[in-house]
């Protein structure tokens, strides 16, 4: 069963999500997974829908939602930062915690691209997360952001102008400044829960080397699949298997 839900973030903005609840009638509590999209994306991207449905079919409660300033949620896209994405994820966790059917001891998180970065940060810091996965993760934002900014001149002028046209709309330079507050490699080393990295062999937005370096530094498992940055079934399958193994 799927239904649309809404909840507030730390700024009082309304975030929109889609909640999947298994239709088994007699089980009282279910493990749950939050699905997080990339920068400029939204919860309704087909791969996020497919991932959510695949997890739901395995008996997980699933919440996929739009960050503030994205999709159907309130807020301005230009104000997006990694810190605010983290706060939005924490609000999503609280939304799940308010549901009687959610087993709080079995909460998972999977993120794509900037959502993968957020998953690393959350997994390192938030003890409520018991298993996690990251698709298309990176620790250095410069090359991925260059790929997202529409032209080279605008990329070079981003710091001076304070704003650039990227995938999804205008984005403040504060995004990059905020990202640099997080030492992703060091945070990954602090992860104590089951954590899987998945990366596309043909990802031309985020180099495979970025995920490989995270995996090596933090001694995390990594699965390389024949996908681009916009992943499909070959990336979804290992993620579903991962949560089926570690959230039961």
* pLDDT over 70 (residue 26): no
> pTM value?
0.96
Question: For residue 78, what are its two tokens?
Answer: 């230009």
Sign of the C-alpha dihedral computed for residues 116, 122, 128 and 130 taken in this order: positive
Say if 147 falls within a structural domain.
Answer: no
- Does 81 fall in a domain? yes
Of 85, 58, 68, nearest in space to 181 by CA: 85
Query: How large is the angle between the packed helices 46-57 and 233-246, nearest 10 degrees?
Result: 30
Q: Would you say residue 200 lies in a domain? A: yes
Q: What pLDDT does residue 165 have?
A: 86
Q: In whole angstroms, how large is the CA radius of gyration of the chain? A: 17
Q: How far apart are CA 21 and CA 38, in angstroms?
A: 24
Residue 158 lies in a domain: no
For 101-139, the pLDDT digits (tens) are: 999 999 999 999 999 999 999 999 999 999 999 999 999
Domain span at 91: 2-141+183-246
| DSSP letter, residue 61 | E
**Token pair listed for 110:** 């999977």
Instruction: Report residue 80 as tokens.
Output: 């997006």
Q: In the chain, how many domains are there?
A: 1
**pLDDT tens digits for range 190-226:** 999 999 999 999 999 999 999 999 999 999 999 999 9
Q: How confident is the model at residue 31 (pLDDT cuts 50, 70, 90)?
A: very high
At 80, is the pLDDT very low, low, confident or very high (cuts 50, 70, 90)?
A: very high
The answer to whether residue 146 is domain-embedded is: no
Asked, for residue 192, whether it belongs to a domain, the answer is yes
> Where residue 190 sits, what CATH number does that domain have?
3.40.50.1820
Residue 83 counted as domain residue: yes
Please report the beta strands in the chain, taking only residues with DSSP state E, as ranges in sequence order.
2-8, 14-20, 30-36, 61-65, 102-112, 131-135, 163-166, 169-172, 195-200, 222-225
Question: Does residue 66 lie in a domain region?
Answer: yes
């Amino acid at each position: 069963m799927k239904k649309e839900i809404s909840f507030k973030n730390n700024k009082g903005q309304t975030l929109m999500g889609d909640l999947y609840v298994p239709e088994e009638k007699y089980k009282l509590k279910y493990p749950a997974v939050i699905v997080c999209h990339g920068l400029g994306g939204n919860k309704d991207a087909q791969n996020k829908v497919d991932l959510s449905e695949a997890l739901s079919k395995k008996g997980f409660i699933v919440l996929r939602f739009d960050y503030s300033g994205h999709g159907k949620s309130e807020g301005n896209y230009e104000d997006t930062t990694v810190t605010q994405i983290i706060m939005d994820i924490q609000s999503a966790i609280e939304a799940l915690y308010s549901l009687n059917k959610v087993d709080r001891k079995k909460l998972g998180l999977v993120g794509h691209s900037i959502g993968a970065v957020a998953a690393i940060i959350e997994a390192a810091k938030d003890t409520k997360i018991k298993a996690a996965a990251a698709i298309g993760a990176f620790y250095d934002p410069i090359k991925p952001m260059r790929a997202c900014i529409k032209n080279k001149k605008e990329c070079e002028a981003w710091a001076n102008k304070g704003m650039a046209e990227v995938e999804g709309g205008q984005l403040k330079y504060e995004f990059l400044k905020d990202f640099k507050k997080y030492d992703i490699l060091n945070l990954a080393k602090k992860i104590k829960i089951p954590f899987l990295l998945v990366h596309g062999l043909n990802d031309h937005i985020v180099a495979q080397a970025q995920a490989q370096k995270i995996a090596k530094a933090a001694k995390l498992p990594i699965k390389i699949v024949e996908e681009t940055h916009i992943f499909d079934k070959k990336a979804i399958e290992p993620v579903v298997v991962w949560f089926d193994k570690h959230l039961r």
